[in-house]
Homo-oligomer: A and B are copies of this chain.
Amino acid sequence: MNRLERALEELRRRKIGQGMVLKPQNIYYLTGFYPTSFAVLLLGKETKLLVSPMDERLAFRCEVEVEVVRNFRRRLRRIESRRVGVEKSYASCEFYERYLRGRQVVSLGFLEEMRMVKDREELRRIKSAVRVAEEVMGGVAERLEEAESERELAAWAEYLLRRKAGSAFEVIVASGRNSAVPHHTPGEGLDTASVIIDLGARVEHYASDITRTFSLNKAEGFDELYEAVLEAQKAAIGRCVAGAAARDVDLAAREVLREYRLEEYILHSTGHGIGLEVHEAPRLSGESDLILREGMVVTVEPGVYREIGVRVEDMVLIGKRPKLLTSFGK
């Protein structure tokens, strides 16, 4: 059974008359076509992809019937099912009011669950995206000494990523005190005493995500923080095995950082699934109750944010044993 058939099977099982898929990543996953404008994949009673005229010439790659729609409002109001499935975390309140009011609306969350376990082709693309990201990390490391600013270094990283493939998200270059801010926007100046570089490539729609913290002229306390984070990461990676709880990966990292009395400097959970989206299920957080399965791909990225910040992020394929996909500098 291919993905589309599996999704249709799920719909029948859940007695959903009509699914309306809006999220481009889910549409791509099920049809092989990645819409560039508003599009709706109908699943169930009607199964076809509705695209705008903007996408007419691109949609020939699509594995389901395509209908070009000039007026989505009119078209979507023709849908009759009483029980409709949508991606509740993606569809807006406006969409709900226009098309779903008075119907029984249920979640299509199973699509995100389907995407958690990667098949061979998906792994091939993820590995390609990893190779590009690691090459670029090398290019950035080389330029560290001569770069004139965080911003220039980030711009260079984006150039290298996009020349080869695509950039999965805005590159983060956070140096000195800025490294203590997990979502710092690259700015003027570059303090090479501690520099966090967080970047990812995109290859055929699949993403990679890797972080390294460099220090040319060691900031005070850098080595101690770095060692603690590395040890936390190692412990967390050790739990990335099929059958383990996602929560335990997070807890393993926290436990190590607690031993180093660094727990209060943790600002985010330990990692996340990655694939068509940079952040997707499963989350590796203390609140997750998900069990890891073979074929999931996650990042493991403990970080501490004090006067300076240190974060190290690698990608791991879940199996009987954890398989590290990234290896830059390791």
Residues of B within 8 A of A54 (CB): 182-183, 267-268
Q: Is A105 located at the chain interface by the 8 A CB criterion?
A: yes
Contact present for A55 and B151 (CB under 8 Å):
no
| List of B residues within 8 angstroms of A181 by Cβ | 57-58
Interfacial chain B residues near A95, Cβ < 8 Å: 93
Cα A151 to Cα B156 with chains together (Å): 15
Tell me whether A155 is interfacial, beta carbon within 8 Å.
yes
For the complex, what is the distance from the CA of A58 to the CA of B177, rounded to whole Å? Answer: 12
Minimum Cβ distance to chain B for residue A133 (Å): 15
CB-CB under 8 A for A91 and B92, given A154-B162, A158-B158:
yes
Knowing A152-B163, A159-B158 are in contact, say whether A57-B180 is a contact too (CB < 8 A).
yes
Q: Given A155-B162, A158-B155, A159-B159, decide whether A267 and B89 contact each other with a Cβ distance below 8 A.
A: no
Residues of B within 8 A of A36 (CB): 183, 185
Report A171-191 residues with CB < 8 Å from chain B CB.
Answer: 180-183, 185
Total residues of chain A contacting the partner, CB 8 A: 39
Q: Is A97 positioned at the interface, with any CB of B under 8 Å from its CB? A: yes
Interface status of A37 (Cβ within 8 A of chain B): yes
Q: Which of A86, A96, A97, A155 has the most CB of B within 10 A?
A: A155
Q: How far is the CA of A158 from the CA of B92 in the complex (A)?
A: 31
Is A5 engaged at the interface, CB distance under 8 Å to the other chain?
A: no
A243 proximity list for chain B (CB < 8 A)? none
Within 8 Å CB of A53, what residues of B?
267
- What 1/0 mask marks residues of chain A from 18 to 52 whose CB sits below 8 Å from any chain B CB? 00000000000000000011000000000000000
Closest Cβ–Cβ distance, residue A109 to chain B (whole Å): 9
Asked if A15 is an interface residue, CB under 8 A from chain B, the answer is no
Which of these, B96, B154, B183, B185, contacts A55 with CB under 8 Å?
A: B183
CB < 8 Å: which of B94, B154, B162 contacts A88? B94
Min distance, Cβ A258 to any Cβ of chain B, angstroms: 17
A111–chain B nearest beta-carbon distance, Å: 14
A171 closest partner in B (C-beta): B162
A92 touches B89 (CB 8 A): yes
A37 CB contact (under 8 Å) in B37, B88, B183: B183
CA distance A185 to B28 in the complex (A): 15
CB neighbours of A159 from chain B (8 A)? 155-156, 158-159
CB proximity of A91 to chain B, nearest CB, Å: 5
**A residues neighboring B (CB under 8 Å):** 36-37, 53-55, 57-58, 86, 88-97, 100, 105, 151-152, 154-156, 158-163, 167, 180-183, 185, 267-268
10 additional A-B pairs beyond A89-B93, A159-B159, beta carbons within 8 Å, are A36-B185, A54-B183, A54-B268, A89-B92, A91-B92, A92-B92, A93-B105, A151-B163, A155-B163, A158-B159
Q: Lowest 5 CB-CB distances: which A-B pairs, in order?
A: A155-B162, A36-B183, A159-B159, A155-B163, A88-B93
